[in-house]
Amino acid sequence: MVSEIRLFTESTFLEKAQSYQSVLSLRGVVVHIEIVEKINARFLRLHPELALCVDDLGLSLSANGMKMQPDWKAEIPRLKRASLKSEMIARACNLSEKPNLIDATAGLGHDTLLMAHLGATVTLIERHPILFTLLEDAKNQGESDPFLAPVVSRIQLVFSDSNTYLQQCIDENNSVDVVYLDPMFPQRDQNQQAVKKQAQVKKQMQLLHMLLPEEGEMDLGDRLLVLAQVIAKRVVVKRPRLAVFLNDQQPDHQWQGDACRFDAYFNG
């Protein structure tokens, strides 16, 4: 887990950078602010190490000449095209019933955004302080957008380890309609060629993988499935199409796509 990181910003955005620095400090990350003349493509190429940037677009992660943030506004065209009938995730998660849903594997929050747009009330769990802060920034920006505002109002961000959060739900006898899982590291998959193809991810995901190196078996999601099945009427797992079952557990139902599938486990 990254506990110390540099943050590049231009003098114009210093106050904003200091605000992010304070927030991340409270979440256990030491941030060293460096004021630079201009954050542009050349600057990013010359500073390939993992770092944060603050500019007019807010907070972003940078490395290897790339810059990324969970740009929820960029998802608006996709959301406008989406419908309960057209989206496989909508059928898998039974979104027509407007479920109370936990997304225990946040990523960049794009699936959460889609599910909230299609009617779900979503609790989004993220344990990494930097990724959580990036998601928080995306949500805050979404609140000022006329299209996204009603969508993000149905999303609650929770800064927690998903295993801990689900166990707490069990201990407190809290239940939900759906738990959604999309584990980042399906490397035990049967078809290694499919895994390699899956690994050639978009630039955004490349940086996410740098920020979130695999930290043991729990990141595969096996334990999450076990915990989720205790509290949810339905657990939905997104997998590469040829991947092995999570926790080697045969699902009750599947929805198959060209690149991925959704495995569903029903409780009662």
Say how far apart CA 48 and CA 64 lie, in whole Å.
4
30 in Cβ contact with 52 (< 8 Å): no
Does 126 carry a binding-site annotation?
A: yes
Of 88, 96, 110, 95, residue with least CA distance to 256 = 88
Please state, in angstroms and as integers, the Cα–Cα distance from residue 259 to each residue in 104, 241, 256, following that order. 21, 5, 8
The DSSP symbol for 245 reads P
Name residue 112's amino acid.
Answer: T
159: left (phi over 0), alpha (psi -120 to 50) or beta: beta
Does 143 carry a binding-site annotation?
A: no
Say how far apart CA 17 and CA 33 lie, in whole Å.
7
| 43 C-beta neighbours (distance < 10 Å), count | 16
Q: What is the C-alpha radius of gyration for the chain, rounded to an integer number of angstroms?
A: 19
Does 127 carry a binding-site annotation?
A: yes
245-252 own/partner pairs: CB under 8 Å, 24+ apart: 246/181, 246/183, 246/220, 246/221, 246/222, 247/221, 247/222, 247/223, 249/225
- 228 φ/ψ angles, rounded to the nearest 5 degrees: -60, -35
Question: Which residues sit in the known binding site for S-adenosyl-L-methionine?
Answer: 126-127, 182
Question: Which residues sit in the known binding site?
Answer: 126-127, 182
